[in-house]
Amino acid sequence: MSGYWNDILVGSKSLVTGLMITAREFFKPVVTEQYPYDVPEMTPLFRGHVELIANEETGAPNCIVCMACQRACPSDCITLAGEKKEGEKKKSLTQYQLDFTKCSLCGSCVEACNFNALQFSKEYNLCSFNKDDFIIDLVKRLEDQN
């Protein structure tokens, strides 16, 4: 019989403890964002997909097609190509494709780039039912932004 009263006492103590925590949290300010109506502000360390950085003077990508980002990528999701045009000293980027379905957002490509050509975007709301929408042509995307 003493075990019966002991179980009731322990259960009541647990119930009161839980109610006290709930009451204390009830009066604190709300931290929930109402997502579709309130757009969240991205922190400086947010990692979206990779994007090219444009040269401030010319508007062309800073990428010199050294392939360091492609070699550094463990997911093998980067494909790039370039050509050397007449009268220029270095290659110019013609294609930079990112397969975002394979990307693990590890940042190896951004760290490997020594020419300030890649950065993480602040875009967070990528969604689609079509896989082809996640194969991103970054050169075309950069041209559309300018």
Is there a contact between 127 and 78 (Cβ–Cβ < 8 Å)? no
Record the pTM.
Answer: 0.70
Mean pLDDT of the chain: 91
Banded model confidence at residue 1, pLDDT cuts 50, 70, 90: low
User: Within the chain, how many helices (H) and strands (E) appear?
Assistant: 4, 5
pLDDT above 80 for 67: yes
Banded model confidence at residue 42, pLDDT cuts 50, 70, 90: confident
Rounded average pLDDT over 78-91: 88
Banded model confidence at residue 136, pLDDT cuts 50, 70, 90: very high
Q: Could you tell me the domains of the chain?
A: 1-31 (no CATH), 50-145 (3.30.70.3270)
- DSSP helix/strand/coil, 137: strand
pLDDT above 80 for 135: yes
Q: How far apart are the first and last CA of the chain?
A: 80
